[in-house]
Amino acid sequence: MKKIICIFILLLTLGLFTACSNVTDEVLIEAREAVKNGALIVDVRTPDEFRQKHIDGAINLPIEAIMKGNIKLPKDKEIVVYCRTGSRSRVSAKVLREQGWTVYDVATQGDWERKIELKQG
């Protein structure tokens, strides 16, 4: 129970100070290319949030499961993570990277879906 309380305090703190997305076009381009090449899109929100709306093809692996180490993702796949504000995806990306996955944090579904103006040059 104490660990769960610590996780929620961490998430709350991150949400208060880092809720604005800083996902660059370059990260989005890399993440989209990774998905084309077989990377998994992982929604780290709650199952209820996932049921309401999610990126097509995404799987749901809530941050709580990730924090508990209950990660059943293939090690040979790259991972693209997102959540509602970018806070949970940031924490999840860090934990997954520490466990050996290659992870792209695209913060939110809105970021994932945003248009990118390709620069001519």
Contact 39, 31 (CB under 8 A): yes
Q: What are the DSSP calls for 19-38, one per residue? A: -S----HHHHHHHHHHHHTT
Distance between CA atoms of residues 58 and 54, nearest Å: 7
Q: Which of 34, 55, 81, 83 is catalytic?
A: 83
**Does residue 20 carry a catalytic annotation?**
no
**Residues marked as catalytic:** 83
